[in-house]
Structure 1
Amino acid sequence: MLEIMRENASGWIVKILFAIIIIVFVFAFGMSGLAPTGDPVLATVNDQVVTRAEYEFAYQRMAEAIGRSNPNVTSAQLQSAQFKQMVMGELISKKLLLGEAEKLGIGASDKEMIEGIAAQSMFKDKKGAFNKNIYQAALRSIRMTPAQFEADFKQEIIIEKVKQGVGSAASATPAQARQLFDWVGEQVRIDYIQVAPKDFMDTVTVSNDEIKAYFMANQERFTAPAQVRLRVISFTPDALAKFQTVTDDEIKAYYEANSKLMQQPEQIHARHILVMIKDSDSDADKGKAKAKIEEVLKKAKAGEDFASLAQEYSEGPSAPNGGELGWFGRGAMVPEFEKAAFDTVTGDISGLVKTQFGWHIIKVEERKDASTQTLDDVKDELRTKIAQEKASEKITEQLDQAMDRLISGMTIEEIAKELKLEAVTTEPMPALFLTQIFGLSPEAAKTVQDLAVGEAHKAPIAVNGGYMLVEKVEDIPPTLMSLDKVKSNVVGSIKKQKCDEMAQNEAEKIHAALTGTNAAKAAKTYAKRIKTSKPFGRQGNVAGLGQSKPLTEAAFSAEDTAWLPLVYTMPNSVLVVRLNERVPASEDAWKEQKKFWMEQATQNYRKEMLASFMDELSKNAKIDIVQPEVLQ
């Protein structure tokens, strides 16, 4: 079982646990004195037991901590065997370390425990002093008594002492730290020949037989998912606002009380062209970037269309939209960019602007001066806002009234009619999209999806901004769309597939020529197509080409500048690649960061020692999972 847990200690769980390690350290583990007498034993670790209550408590604390730090984690992930085994693995590790501490005579005093708790920032007031009220409130929020928390905290001190004892003798040498720094900081350039699938698009044809065959072979792609129609009464400020009365006097009073909010700051509408550079770029690359932006500025000043220039030359994310930045006010952009933009006359083009991202050229399209909105300008907006505030105060009352009627057997339509509310029957919607459409939790969406036709859920369901009562009107099963409706998509998919294959074949043909018996001749043939990338690191994001883990690993593993043995598929092309040069980590950066890398290397060394120590403990321990079904 321990081997399974170790194998599963990866992927999203490890990333999440790493992100919340401090929270878990303080709140997630330990059950001293919590489990009642006779509580079922879930596992034994040597002469110690892990009770069912202890496991459930640790599971709940860890799930809550993960939920707070990572809202996108689903309940399915937290209920998976992988996560349950992770929780059990942490509890077993804790038992092993506490057992080792007892053998070594390692303990913790009340004074250490009190000082440790008092040092926790979460229990301090604004002046930085420990606050008993904050402490007690924090424990209440996680349903722990001070006695439980303090006992657990003392155990954590003991465990930390064991860990420190294991790693205390480990200290990295400057050579080891430099090795780590060099490995992380090294970059490479590659030479490459790029073959783009889009270049073959005009040569590709698709027959009717191919269209029919593809459609039949990929029916799941062209099947409309199961859909539902619902009848709902929404209890949200937006839904109930239409039933509220708002007088002109209320609007005027609100306007006068919030006059500062009616001020509209100065704004400009602009476009820009960006040529990116980084501090780590070589002087040669920086010079090329400066020359490129100067040439583009000449074209812009000569009257060429700015949006077209942005699409062709800009390296920023707004390039496909012609450098469009929309409207923005002061404080929205980095200072250098903001000053240049607001100093540029409407309709004019700025000079070169240098920021942390590179070189910019800015064109100011329009400008709005600072102004104060009049009452007439915002009257309708304020009426809606006040109505929503009034509705917000009545949600609970109206929901209670509706629930009384629902429980008594009234239908959703009858309830809406009696309470003068609105029952809305939705258009058919994919059942899978209930979470996005209504803002439901995955559990609530499944509850709605599982309703029988004509059945109303007997409890309010939380949605964005409030609640709703819901009744299922219709279930629509998955339906295969007609070929006529999806024909263009089918054709596009087939063309892409063919173009990808043609690009792959062409790249492999070029590769074979460059590495074959007539490699010298091929090198001359393809010399003009060879390009050189900017330096990139082991994370593998190659500027202008995208990311490929296999390409990155191959480039950093290359021993010479021969063409690599494979071709590599990138997001929009296939590459034939060779190593151009290795760019070592900066000597100046090493001098500045030596202390940090010494600490980092030492931490890594100590983690390795602790992992080895824990492996040894687990190998020599008698561990029995008494109820393995709980972890499935």
Structure 2
Amino acid sequence: MLEIMRENASGWIIKILFAVIIFIFIFAFGMSGLNSSGDPALATVNGQVITRAEFEQMYQRASENIRRSNPDLDQAQIKTPEFKQMILGELISRKLLLAEAEKLGIRASDAEVSAGIAAQPMFKDANGVFSKDVYQSALRGIRMTPSQFEADYRQELTIDKVQEAVAAPADVSEAQARQLYDWVGEQATIDYVAVAPADYYDQVQVSDAEVEEYFKANQDKYMIPPQVTLRYVAFTPAALAKYQTVSSDEIKAYFEANKDKMQEPEQVKARHILVMVKDSDPAEVKEKAKERIDKIYARAKAGEDFAALAVENSDGPSGPDGGELGWFGRGAMVPAFEEAAFALNKGDISEPVKTRFGWHVILVEDKKEGTVKTLDEAKDEIKGLIAEEKASEKINELLDQSMDRLVSGMDITAIAAEIGVEPTTTEPMPAQFLAQILGMTPEAAKSVEALAPGAAQKSPVAITGGYMLVEKVEDIPSTLMDLELVKPSILNTLKDQKGTKLAEQEAEKIVAALTGPDAEAAAKTYASRIKTSEPFDRQGNIPDLGRSVPLTKAVFEAKDTSWLKFPYTMPGGLVVVARLNKHIPASDETWKEQREFWLQQANDNYRRETLAAFMDDLSKNADINIARPDLLQ
């Protein structure tokens, strides 16, 4: 039992939150109003039908609830096949559990249903008493009748009873909970000698033949992804503002009315290096991206020219310009990037920062404190604000006019000329990043990507701040980069590899010396290089070294303070020779404070594992047929 809990201990919080979310959206919105006898079957479970309407409405309501509870969540994550499969899995589980309840003769009584509903805070009046009026009003808000809600609530209670019956024998003792607490809370420190690949770069030679051989063997790494060129007319306040007339009197009146707002906000001037990676990429791709940014960060911190590093390594559009972003204020960048940039001092380089675009390393070149503007200083900004206000009033009219012309067969260029604006033709851009670059949904981006060259999207595309009419100009297939362009990157990669190999060889010599017959003399030889880490736990984030699961496992399994028999290569290439310094037991005082918490968590976790095994057994013995797998894509 404890082995199961140990393997899953680090995921407890996620599991608990996820279970709460699932319960909330099932309970709050119900299912009994979703059945449709004429609706096509999405799946069947032992002959019981799950309709398309059941799935789609549960999916919509789950998505809405998660968006409300986590507004910063990347919306693409709740449109993935994985999320849709999770929704279907919940529906299948409900069918199986209700069937099991019927087999076992388990059913929630009328009294239990009434008492459960009356206890819900959402159905109580200002005095905290159940109110029939509040109850009925709340149900009207989710378009359900009392009979539908009560039938569904009865199902929820019935499912709870089945789960309780299954999990009841799964309680753990205090001794078992303490054992788990001790295991999770234990820490360790290590003594170590670190060998850096960079220390051997001056010994490394890389020939042109090696570069060419590496390039040929790894061409998949140096492919320019498929790109597209688009032409569009944007109907947003910002895009249409330049076509508006703003008088000096309007500017002055705005300034007088908004003097308190006329402040120059805090700004930073920065460069960045971006290693692109998406949340939907495979784990292997994510790991390689992280390894790559860690190496770039190490080189930047070591003093290499940041702009040159950006030209050589950045996947972002600012890469050819040395990662130059210019001046920007708060709200201009995604939150994680902004937080990191504004936390830096002038001249500082950030550790790798993760956003939805990938991994960034940021250099802050300068900073400006906020100041109050004069009319002369603010006039251009005010002109832009007024122009955008005027433009926003014309968006619908211009969009309607443009749609009439699009339907009649006119192309984007001709439409733009007739309504008095200039179309924009993009530079070639990666097709996979259309959504991020143009601010449209992933579905719209796929639709635009699928257009034939010369064809236009037949309806407006929603983008950040408004809409656009768009047509494809050109498809550019994936091509291999020129060797000369990527040669500096390959040289560094090979230099890293050779440096790491030499570092590993040196580390192996150190291990042999520290564990050999003259270990005492070797310990004196390397004494000046031996450092002691700060405490770390089984998660394996070792201060100043990084995360290594193999090293962490070896340290916590060590029975004494002998040097470990193998060196360990850390993220970024650092090679470490290590030994256990000491194990630090979990605190007795903390156990006394958290005893009830750990008892509850140990019980909850093991009960979840018991239920999961029960559901797995039900699923394996069930006849489950998914008739419409396309709906899960």
* Shorter-chain TM band: 0.7 to 0.9
Contact 2:35 2:51 in 1 (8 A): yes
Match of 2:321 in 1: none
Change (3 A) 1:17 1:415: farther
The structure with the larger Rg is: 1
Change (3 A) 1:463 1:99: same
Change (3 A) 1:222 1:617: closer
The whole-number CA distance in structure 2 between the counterparts of 1:437 and 1:124 is 47
Change (3 A) 1:437 1:14: farther
2:20 is equivalent to residue 22 of structure 1: yes
Contact 1:101 1:107 in 2 (8 A): no
Query: Match of 2:567, SS?
Result: strand
Match of 1:235 in 2: 235
2:579 is equivalent to residue 581 of structure 1: no
Query: Match of 2:462, SS?
Result: strand
What code does the residue aligned with 1:72 have?
Answer: D
Contact 2:227 2:478 in 1 (8 A): yes
Q: Which runs of 4+ in 1 moved over 6 A?
A: 13-17, 123-130, 326-329, 365-368
Match of 1:248 in 2: 248
Change (3 A) 1:114 1:404: farther
Shift of 1:110: 7.4
Q: TM-score, normalised on structure 2?
A: 0.72
Shift of 1:106: 2.5
Contact 2:113 2:153 in 1 (8 A): no
Shift of 1:419: 0.6
Match of 2:383 in 1: 383
2:597 is equivalent to residue 599 of structure 1: no
Contact 2:106 2:161 in 1 (8 A): no
Contact 2:229 2:426 in 1 (8 A): yes
The whole-number CA distance in structure 2 between the counterparts of 1:212 and 1:51 is 57
Shift of 1:161: 3.1
The whole-number CA distance in structure 2 between the counterparts of 1:552 and 1:504 is 18
Offset from partner CA, 1:201-245 (integer Å, 9 cap, x none): 111111121122222222233333332222110111110111222
Contact 1:514 1:563 in 2 (8 A): yes
Contact 2:192 2:532 in 1 (8 A): yes
Shift of 1:198: 0.8
Match of 2:138 in 1: 135
Query: Match of 2:455, SS?
Result: coil
Contact 1:231 1:424 in 2 (8 A): yes
Query: Match of 2:142, SS?
Result: helix
The whole-number CA distance in structure 1 between the counterparts of 2:15 and 2:74 is 14
Contact 1:24 1:65 in 2 (8 A): no
Shift of 1:532: 1.1
Query: Match of 1:381, SS?
Result: helix
The whole-number CA distance in structure 2 between the counterparts of 1:611 and 1:120 is 30
Match of 2:403 in 1: 403
Change (3 A) 1:389 1:93: same
The whole-number CA distance in structure 1 between the counterparts of 2:411 and 2:84 is 41
Comparing 479-488 with 531-540, greater Cα deviation is found at 479-488
Query: Match of 1:578, SS?
Result: strand
Contact 2:36 2:51 in 1 (8 A): no
Q: How does 1:536-615 map to 2 (within 5 A)?
A: 536-572=536-572, 573-615=574-616
User: Which of 68, 72, 75 does residue 74 from structure 2 map onto?
Assistant: 72
Shift of 1:499: 1.1
The whole-number CA distance in structure 2 between the counterparts of 1:212 and 1:49 is 59
What code does the residue aligned with 1:226 have?
Answer: P
What code does the residue aligned with 1:593 have?
Answer: Q
Comparing 578-587 with 47-56, greater Cα deviation is found at 47-56
Offset from partner CA, 1:353-407 (integer Å, 9 cap, x none): xxxxxxxxxxxx9997x97543333222122112212222322221111111101
Shift of 1:53: 3.8
Contact 1:125 1:134 in 2 (8 A): no
Match of 1:523 in 2: 523
Contact 2:106 2:158 in 1 (8 A): no
The whole-number CA distance in structure 2 between the counterparts of 1:55 and 1:611 is 22
The whole-number CA distance in structure 1 between the counterparts of 2:253 and 2:125 is 38
Shift of 1:174: 2.7
5+ residue gaps in structure 2? Answer: 1-7, 269-300, 303-326, 331-365
Match of 2:177 in 1: 177
Shift of 1:14: 11
Identity of aligned residues (%): 53
Q: How does 1:160-309 map to 2 (within 5 A)?
A: 160-168=160-168, 170-262=170-262
Change (3 A) 1:262 1:111: farther
Contact 1:124 1:134 in 2 (8 A): no
What code does the residue aligned with 2:580 have?
Answer: L
Change (3 A) 1:196 1:117: farther
Shift of 1:57: 3.8
What code does the residue aligned with 1:90 have?
Answer: E
The whole-number CA distance in structure 2 between the counterparts of 1:473 and 1:23 is 44
Shift of 1:411: 1.2
Change (3 A) 1:490 1:138: farther
The whole-number CA distance in structure 2 between the counterparts of 1:217 and 1:145 is 65
Change (3 A) 1:42 1:241: closer
Contact 1:457 1:470 in 2 (8 A): yes
Offset from partner CA, 1:403-434 (integer Å, 9 cap, x none): 11101111111111111112112222222332
Contact 1:34 1:148 in 2 (8 A): no
Change (3 A) 1:440 1:114: farther
Shift of 1:62: 4.0
Comparing 400-409 with 472-481, greater Cα deviation is found at 472-481
Contact 1:511 1:567 in 2 (8 A): yes
2:156 is equivalent to residue 156 of structure 1: yes
5+ residue gaps in structure 1? Answer: 1-9, 270-310, 313-325, 330-364
Match of 1:91 in 2: 91
What code does the residue aligned with 2:468 have?
Answer: M
Q: TM-score, normalised on structure 1?
A: 0.73
What code does the residue aligned with 1:135 have?
Answer: A
Shift of 1:451: 1.6
Offset from partner CA, 1:502-521 (integer Å, 9 cap, x none): 22222223223333454444
Change (3 A) 1:125 1:500: farther
What code does the residue aligned with 1:74 have?
Answer: A
Offset from partner CA, 1:109-155 (integer Å, 9 cap, x none): 3773685487356x889998985698357526xxx666545533332
Change (3 A) 1:219 1:35: same
Change (3 A) 1:41 1:487: closer
What code does the residue aligned with 1:486 have?
Answer: V
What code does the residue aligned with 1:178 have?
Answer: R
Contact 1:139 1:145 in 2 (8 A): no
Match of 2:506 in 1: 506
The whole-number CA distance in structure 2 between the counterparts of 1:258 and 1:146 is 52
The whole-number CA distance in structure 1 between the counterparts of 2:13 and 2:173 is 29
Contact 2:192 2:530 in 1 (8 A): yes
Match of 1:427 in 2: 427
The whole-number CA distance in structure 2 between the counterparts of 1:400 and 1:628 is 38
Change (3 A) 1:138 1:489: farther
Match of 2:464 in 1: 464
Comparing 83-92 with 178-187, greater Cα deviation is found at 83-92
Shift of 1:615: 4.4
Query: Match of 1:564, SS?
Result: coil
Shift of 1:531: 1.4
The whole-number CA distance in structure 2 between the counterparts of 1:451 and 1:211 is 39
Shift of 1:583: 0.7
Change (3 A) 1:134 1:523: farther
Shift of 1:167: 3.7
Shift of 1:470: 0.9
Change (3 A) 1:243 1:366: closer
Match of 2:107 in 1: 106
The whole-number CA distance in structure 1 between the counterparts of 2:250 and 2:537 is 61
Contact 1:190 1:532 in 2 (8 A): yes
What code does the residue aligned with 2:50 have?
Answer: V
The whole-number CA distance in structure 2 between the counterparts of 1:192 and 1:100 is 57
Contact 1:113 1:157 in 2 (8 A): no
The whole-number CA distance in structure 2 between the counterparts of 1:209 and 1:53 is 62
Contact 1:444 1:461 in 2 (8 A): yes
Query: Match of 1:107, SS?
Result: coil
How many residues end up aligned between the 2 structures? 523
